[in-house]
Amino acid sequence: MLPANLFAQLDFSVIGSLAQFEAIVKRDMESKAPTGTQILESIESGRYCSRIELLRDAALNLYWVNRNTLTLYNKHPMRWRDVPRNRSDLFLPVQSPWQDGERKIASMKAAYEALPTSNPTAASSEDDIFNLLYEIVRYKRHHATYMPVIKPTVAEFLAGRDNLTTVLDRHDPNFPVFTEQDIVDCREEVPELEAIRRWVMLLHNLYPWDRSRQRLARPHEIGDDDFVIVFEPRNREVLAFINRVKEAHATPPPAAPPRTPVVPKQPVRPYPPAMVREKFSVMPRIEALAASPGEQVCTNEDVIRNSAMNWSPMTAEEIRSKTGIEARCYTNRTLEEISLDVAQSALRHSGRQPEEIGAVLFCSCTSTRLIPSVATWLSAELGFYQTHNSSDIVAACAGVPYGLAEALRILDEVNRPVLLVCAEKFSDKIGNVRTSRMLFGDGAAAMIIAPAPDGSAPDIDIVQTYASGPQKEVNAIVWPNPDFDNNITVYGPPVRALAQRYLIQMLDELRSIPGIHGGEKMIDDIDLVVPHQANKTMVTELAVEAGLTPDQLYFNIERVGNTSAASIPLAIHDAVVEGVIDKPMRLFAPGFGAGAVGGYAVLRIDPAIVATLDRGSFKPSVFPVPSSSSDDVRVGFGD
């Protein structure tokens, strides 16, 4: 179970205004949830074909009804005589009677009973879920179309003689609710039904009282022993946000000046790729490559089981079709720990000792460590008393070409081996953002790039790097993103545009460079293309448009997901293990991604450099896409 998809809480420290908050609610709840009137229209028009469709819409509607409670408030019954009248942090909502409610409730019940089950084995579960939903809906008394974000204080409620709020004539504080463990342990055979059951369990907990005792009452109609539903801010950050909104309402801040669009200018001349034989005096030899994905497998079915309420409906097959991904791998370890593991493995495989290493380069876009940098932390953990350079590089999905370019420069300066580590941990940064959930995984890889013996040919022929572009492309992938609770977000069209732009540019360069190893052009010397594993469907389409064929491309994204900087070396590792690279081969490795960065390397990979199991024992089942339970995935995230 992926807790962030269900128990997500907005970070109000980064929400600066009521308008920003309302935009988030509109995007994630209002635009996804049908109103009660729309559900009634769908019932009467016969749009629903199965019970699960009605259950989904009813649950989404209740999420929308509770859009403020879920994000801002805790609500609980309090005896009226005990309610403080003058506190500024205690609220009573003013509510309006639900028009045509009885008709809508009766129609929902009749429609559910008439609809066929979505799966014969799930009929009992559908009934359980409907009964939980119906117990909330049947006693609902108030309308939900207009519900102000900032609720009236108790004093403000009392100031309006005709104000209405929810009242109970009695209350049992032991009213049964689901524990968080109950929700986490929920299991259904039908993936989407499991997600809906979790939603409904959480909704049930938002009404921890006997709903049949509810009525709407005016201030003078509330008895001392009646109970009202008081709203309290969920935490201090929420209270601070409420106070900011009130202060801004009293004294609106000055409007920010409009931003002037910037028209990007082409460079005065193209940036030539670095031809290693011509540019550097020390030729590089790749001595070792070690790689590891996360240890917890999250299949597409698991993603569906954990659908957040703000996701549009989709199936596991639709995820595979859109992305080429069948599973992604997560880790419950830290980014530093998985990086240290692959670094140690690469060092062992190369036979290098700590005192021989001249530099450590760490490429990642998901590190939260600033001081000390991950590269310097790794240097200490590996026993390097001093290096010429230990530094972090943020080049996202172009981490390999950026890292290799820097490694070649350092190699030329100090004539000593360079440790290059590329690693990402996305699993704790994707929250309940659907696109990010579908795409990203965790993984790490490390390479040792050392001086080649005198007179030897280099293992790296060409490196090239790029950056920037139109503003939309530069900001196509954002983390942290305050509009999405500081989780990583991906905007598809500009990502596709930058990937297309860079692939065409890269291949045009390779077609213009004379071949080094017998081909007429450099493109003719390439044995295999191992691209950044961004999205198999998209990259394949763009590569074909740029003149490649699908059989020239290698992907492992279907089982590990998009691991950004780690994706190319992780794919090279797997290509060796699978036997796709079964002899020394020349690869074209293009990368492109966040920040509109891009680049590529043309490099020779000898299977012997890969630190892995004896390839002679390889069987096709080495990389299955296993079925994993919610329990398995939960281990990767903790409880």
Whole-angstrom distance, CA of residue 136 vs CA of residue 36: 13
pTM reported for the whole predicted model: 0.88
What is the chain's Cα-based Rg? Answer: 29
Within 10 Å of residue 557's Cβ, how many Cβ atoms? 27
> What DSSP designation does 450 have?
E
User: How much is the pLDDT for 100?
Assistant: 82
Whole-angstrom distance, CA of residue 471 vs CA of residue 211: 52
Q: Can you name the residues that pair with 291 across neighbouring β-strands?
A: 445
User: How much is the pLDDT for 314?
Assistant: 87
List all residues 6 or more positions away from 193 whose beta carbon is below 8 Å from its beta carbon: 52, 55, 118, 119, 122, 125, 126, 129
**Residue from 293, 323, 317 nearest 304 by CA:** 317
Taking CA 611 as the corner, what is the angle to CA 607 and CA 616, rounded to the nearest 5 degrees?
60
User: How much is the pLDDT for 290?
Assistant: 97
Per residue in 196-255, pLDDT tens? Answer: 999 999 999 999 999 999 999 999 999 999 999 999 999 999 999 999 999 887 777 777
User: How much is the pLDDT for 3?
Assistant: 52
Using a 10 angstrom Cβ sphere, with 0-12 exposed, 13-18 middle and 19 or more buried, the burial of residue 565 is buried
Whole-angstrom distance, CA of residue 374 vs CA of residue 360: 9
What's the CA dihedral at 44, 49, 52, 58 to 10 degrees? -20
Phi, psi of 94 (to 5 degrees): -95, 125
Q: Can you name the residues that pair with 466 across neighbouring β-strands?
A: 598
Taking CA 276 as the corner, what is the angle to CA 361 and CA 567, rounded to the nearest 5 degrees?
45
Within 10 Å of residue 256's Cβ, how many Cβ atoms? 6
Per residue in 144-167, pLDDT tens? Answer: 777 899 999 999 999 999 999 999
Structure tokens at 386: 């001093």
Whole-angstrom distance, CA of residue 129 vs CA of residue 190: 13
Using a 10 angstrom Cβ sphere, with 0-12 exposed, 13-18 middle and 19 or more buried, the burial of residue 283 is buried
Whole-angstrom distance, CA of residue 615 vs CA of residue 622: 11
Whole-angstrom distance, CA of residue 128 vs CA of residue 190: 14
What's the CA dihedral at 183, 186, 192, 196 to 10 degrees? -40
Ranges in the chain annotated CATH 3.40.47.10: 275-637
Structure tokens at 412: 């030329």
Whole-angstrom distance, CA of residue 48 vs CA of residue 39: 9
Structure tokens at 197: 């059951």
The answer to whether 438 touches 538, Cβ cutoff 8 Å, is no
The answer to whether 133 touches 70, Cβ cutoff 8 Å, is no
User: How much is the pLDDT for 572?
Assistant: 98
**Residue from 32, 214, 47 nearest 136 by CA:** 214
List all residues 6 or more positions away from 167 whose beta carbon is below 8 Å from its beta carbon: 80, 214, 215, 216, 217, 221, 222, 226, 227, 228
Phi, psi of 358 (to 5 degrees): -95, -20
Within 79-122, where are the H helices? Answer: 101-114
- Please report, for residues 62, 107, 128, 146, the alpha-carbon distance to residue 125 in angstroms, rounded to integers and kept in the order given: 19, 21, 5, 33
Q: Long-range contacts of range 603-606, CB-CB < 8 Å, 24 or more positions apart?
A: 603/286, 603/404, 603/459, 603/460, 603/461, 604/286, 604/459, 604/460, 604/461, 605/286, 605/289, 605/459, 605/572, 605/576, 605/581, 606/286, 606/459
Q: pLDDT under 70 in the chain at which residues?
A: 1-8, 612-639
User: How much is the pLDDT for 614?
Assistant: 39
Whole-angstrom distance, CA of residue 608 vs CA of residue 619: 18
Whole-angstrom distance, CA of residue 229 vs CA of residue 68: 14
What strands, in cross-sheet order, belong to the sheet with 585-593? 274-275, 460-466, 597-605, 585-593, 528-529
Taking CA 397 as the corner, what is the angle to CA 391 and CA 401, rounded to the nearest 5 degrees?
65
Structure tokens at 372: 């000390």
Structure tokens at 133: 């939903």
467 three-class SS? coil
Q: Can you name the residues that pair with 420 across neighbouring β-strands?
A: 361, 447
What strands, in cross-sheet order, belong to the sheet with 359-363? 284-293, 443-451, 418-424, 359-363, 389-393
Phi, psi of 46 (to 5 degrees): 75, 25
User: How much is the pLDDT for 408?
Assistant: 98
Q: CATH number for 275-637: choose from 3.30.230.10, 3.40.718.10, 3.40.47.10, 3.40.50.300.
A: 3.40.47.10
Q: Can you name the residues that pair with 290 across neighbouring β-strands?
A: 446
Whole-angstrom distance, CA of residue 571 vs CA of residue 563: 10
74 three-class SS? strand
